[in-house]
Amino acid sequence: MSRIDCVAHGDELLARFARQAVDVVLVGTQRAVPNGVEATRRLVSAHPQANVIVFGAPDDAGSIAAAIAGGARGYLRWDASRPELVAALAHTLASTSVPAPRQPSDPGVQLTERELQVLRGMSQGKSNGQIGRELYLSEDTVKTHARRLFRKLGVRDRAQAVAHGFRRGLVA
């Protein structure tokens, strides 16, 4: 990436992306203001190949759920650290197409309480390290719980897990 551009609203984003697609789109969200979430939904609907990462408040579950359901590939807190941003960009760029969610082998699958705690942390935009500190677990243990819940839910990554969690009412 060598070019950064900025737009003020969703219509401008759609027009520019239509003229010249970019590797990653960063979209800001704001509680009770649907512009960023709506822009994400419209962009991904018109251009399914668009890689969108949204930024917002960690306690704004509604925007997080709507952005992920609208096609965002990831969600970061406004105060995300540089390593978190770099990791999100690298992950997004490494996944050039959005994989279709796999169906869980058992739609009535139940997550353990610990898996639910990890999923709730993910839905709040927390890193594995942050989740681990809150739950008094090592980062590797959090990753193990995350892999298990991905497998149980039939998803491939954090964004899909969080979206699935919101759809099933596992996180609010």
Residues of the chain with CATH 1.10.10.10: 113-168
pLDDT at 100: 36
Task: Note the pLDDT tens digit of each residue in 89-120.
Answer: 777 776 644 343 344 444 567 888 888 889 98
- Specify whether domain 113-168 bears CATH 3.30.420.480: no
Give the Cα separation of 73 and 94 in Å (integer): 12
Residues of the chain with CATH 3.40.50.2300: 10-94
Give the Cα separation of 108 and 131 in Å (integer): 26
Distances (CA, A) of 59 to 55, 56, 75, 88, 124: 12, 9, 12, 19, 6
Q: Which residues contact 39 (CB under 8 A, 6 or more apart)?
A: 9, 10, 13, 14, 27
Question: Which of the residues in the chain have pLDDT under 70?
Answer: 1-3, 31-34, 94-108, 172
For domain 10-94, give the fold. Rossmann fold (3.40.50)
pLDDT at 172: 67
